[in-house]
Copies of this chain bind each other. A is one copy, B any other.
Amino acid sequence: MNPAVLQLPDLYRPIEADLARVVAIMDQELQSELPFVAQLCERVRGYRGKMLRPALLLLSGQSVAGVQSVLGGPAAGGVTSEHHTLAAVVELVHLATLVHDDVLDQAEERRRQATISSTNGNEAAVMLGDYLISHAFHLCSSLDSQSASRLVGHTTNVVCEGELMQIHSRGHFKLSEPDYIEIIRRKTAALTAACCRLGATHAGADETLASRLEVFGESAGIAFQIVDDILDVVGEQKKMGKTLGRDLELGKMTLPVIHYLREAPTDKQEAMLKKLASAEHDDRAHVAQQLTEFGSVAYATSVAEQHVSRAISMLEGLPESASRSSLLSMAEFIIQREN
């Protein structure tokens, strides 16, 4: 396969019908008789982007079903209506974090449209995020068992802790690489890990297999966030469709910067520190050039690649299947994406 042509719609083929069902469940859950609320929810529909988390959940469920048939479990399928509901739940959680992230980052643009915080004010954005998280839990509680609610609740606890750690570390230019990884493990990878675990367990996977898929999701999530952070510095705003450079402006430390401030010659380090502290917002291009030329972007990319490799190694126990191939390609997609 030529990695340059990886396209999400191709990877999603095994779960195309399932994803349509997930979207329908989300739309149904977010219906409101109140015109203003309905209008905001309509805006949120535009936030739906790659549907990575539902896809991870559904593909994990499908990929595991094959194993079960080998062991004498259900012969095929594996993705149930519970998976559809859970996939809608994790996407609602994700949308809630996007809406609140835009408040935190004072972002103007998301998915090529103006953010809700910028057009309707922070108050509406805060409350809309709350509304989305509330609906996520409400929808999750429609399942028979509490186990998913428990895992989702635990996961959102961890996500919030990650966000709080990140807020607390803003402007701490000496943040270590392990602390950075711990922050993104919580704020991003905890949810992707939960997606894969939920998909697997609800398809009847045993604990060993569920754990492997959870690690797949976690490693993929860490890699995804590293790449996201790299793109915030060196990405093209037009391709990304969202406000870039916010990490630098807000004193949010990212891996290329951490590498540079650790490895560059002292005079370069000091010049960079001065730039970061001075909030010279229009200097993203210059910072990007420095980080690229010194090899800090390449270093961060290599760390992301290691996490992708780890993710892919977790798929080894799974039988060949279209869903397994898609999971593998999704992990590879993380490194290649430009938006």
Interface residues of A (CB under 8 A from B): 32, 34, 36-37, 40, 96, 100, 103-104, 121-124, 126-131, 133-135, 137-146, 149-150, 152-154, 156-157, 159-161, 163-165, 167-168
Given that A126-B126, A150-B138 are contacting pairs, would A157 and B131 also be in contact in the complex, using a CB cutoff of 8 Å? yes
Q: How far is the CA of A74 from the CA of B254 in the complex (A)?
A: 60
Q: How far is the CA of A236 from the CA of B197 in the complex (A)?
A: 53
Q: How far is the CA of A142 from the CA of B123 in the complex (A)?
A: 31
CB distance from A217 to the nearest CB of B (A): 19
In the complex the two chains form, is A164's CB within 8 Å of B131's CB?
Answer: yes
CB distance from A184 to the nearest CB of B (A): 15
Instruction: Considering the complex, give the chain B residue whose CB is closest to the CB of A146.
Output: B141
Residue numbers in B under 8 Å from A144 (CB-CB): 146
CB distance from A304 to the nearest CB of B (A): 25
In the complex the two chains form, is B167's CB within 8 Å of A138's CB?
Answer: no
In the complex the two chains form, is A141's CB within 8 Å of B134's CB?
Answer: no
Residue numbers in B under 8 Å from A127 (CB-CB): 100, 104, 160, 163-164, 167
In the complex the two chains form, is A157's CB within 8 Å of B135's CB?
Answer: yes
Kindly list 20 other residue pairs between chains A and B, CB separation below 8 angstroms, not including A124-B168, A127-B167, A141-B153. Answer: A36-B164, A100-B130, A103-B126, A123-B167, A127-B163, A129-B130, A130-B156, A130-B163, A131-B164, A133-B133, A134-B160, A135-B153, A137-B149, A137-B153, A137-B156, A138-B153, A138-B154, A141-B152, A146-B146, A146-B149
Residue numbers in B under 8 Å from A135 (CB-CB): 153, 157
Residue numbers in B under 8 Å from A167 (CB-CB): 121, 123-124, 127
Instruction: Considering the complex, give the chain B residue whose CB is closest to the CB of A142.
Output: B150
Instruction: Considering the complex, give the chain B residue whose CB is closest to the CB of A33.
Output: B161
CB distance from A230 to the nearest CB of B (A): 23
In the complex the two chains form, is A165's CB within 8 Å of B126's CB?
Answer: no
Of the candidates B123, B134, B165, the one whose C-beta lies within 8 Å of that of A104 is B123
Residue numbers in B under 8 Å from A141 (CB-CB): 141, 146, 149-150, 152-153
In the complex the two chains form, is A134's CB within 8 Å of B153's CB?
Answer: yes
In the complex the two chains form, is A161's CB within 8 Å of B131's CB?
Answer: yes
Q: How far is the CA of A321 from the CA of B163 in the complex (A)?
A: 47
In the complex the two chains form, is A156's CB within 8 Å of B134's CB?
Answer: yes
CB distance from A238 to the nearest CB of B (A): 28
CB distance from A99 to the nearest CB of B (A): 10
Q: List 9 A-B contacts (CB under 8 A).
A: A34-B161, A40-B164, A130-B130, A131-B160, A131-B164, A137-B149, A142-B146, A142-B150, A144-B146
Q: How far is the CA of A137 from the CA of B126 in the complex (A)?
A: 18
Q: List the 7 closest pairs (A to B, CB-CB), nearest first.
A: A138-B153, A141-B149, A131-B160, A134-B156, A36-B168, A141-B150, A137-B137
Q: How far is the CA of A156 from the CA of B130 in the complex (A)?
A: 9
Given that A34-B165, A149-B149 are contacting pairs, would A104 and B130 also be in contact in the complex, using a CB cutoff of 8 Å? no
Most chain-B CB neighbours within 10 Å: which of A145, A159, A164? A164
